[in-house]
Amino acid sequence: MDEVAIIVGELVVTGRSTDDRELRRELESNLQELNDDFEKTMIAPMELVRHRSFEGGFTDPSACFDAFGELERDIFPARVRAGMGVGRLSTPLRESITVMDGQGFHRARSAIEEARRVKSNLMINTPYDDRDEMMNTILSLLGIIKDGWTDRQWEVAGYYQSHEGITQTEIAEYFGISQPAVAKILSRAKIKKVESTNRVIKNQMKNLINHR
């Protein structure tokens, strides 16, 4: 099989974390929603593999990146960290991600170890070192921006990112605030920079497919 994208992730425990069982249930529910949303691009459903950890596999690296972004928004105010690896499988496709293995898994585990070390939300490890350096540098800058978001910015910016084509007026109606207030929140969240950064990463991910 061609190279696949593997994501290995975990809940990040912070002082704001709620009840552990509740967090686990919420993570499990969010993973099921991702499985429904990204089913066509998955090699197997995303699963909880340990107490607060999860794994998933995708045929499209850009879909893997999108899935992490969606999970990050949906799980807030809890936080997640992940490593993403790209590589070939060394086992046949199975119904469960937990009984598969290969280069992508090894790279994803290496990536999450690096993410823990540098305190990044997401790190990427592919067969292309030059691209990895560029993408991880961009992800670090993106993380700095998002780490500075207030709760309100996470809510409004997350809703904006989750609803393609939505207008600021529609967002204002949803949150019961004014359109200028929405514009101010998105501006302070540097949403345009976040969007352009995400596009750069996704384009690099799509180029990985073209180089197979």
197 part of a folded domain: no
Say what the pLDDT of residue 27 is: 93
* Residue 2: partners with Cβ closer than 8 Å, 6 or more residues away: 59, 88, 212
104 part of a folded domain: yes
Say what the pLDDT of residue 51 is: 79
**204: part of which helix (H) or strand (E)?**
helix 191-210
Question: Any idea which of 74-78, 105-109, 166-170 has the lowest mean pLDDT?
Answer: 74-78
- What CATH number is attached to the domain comprising 116? 3.30.70.270
Closest to 54 (Cα-Cα) out of 76, 84, 77: 84
Three state DSSP letters for 118-139: HCCCEEEECCCHHHHHHHHHHH
Sign of the torsion formed by the C-alpha atoms of 139, 140, 141 and 144: positive
Write out the residue range of the structural domain in which residue 15 sits.
4-140
**Distance (Å) of CA 184 to CA 157, 167, 180, 187:** 11, 14, 6, 5
Say what the pLDDT of residue 2 is: 78
183 part of a folded domain: no
103 part of a folded domain: yes
189 part of a folded domain: no
Three-class secondary structure of residue 22 per DSSP:
helix
155 part of a folded domain: no
191 part of a folded domain: no
pTM value > 0.85:
yes
Structural domain total, the chain: 1
40 part of a folded domain: yes
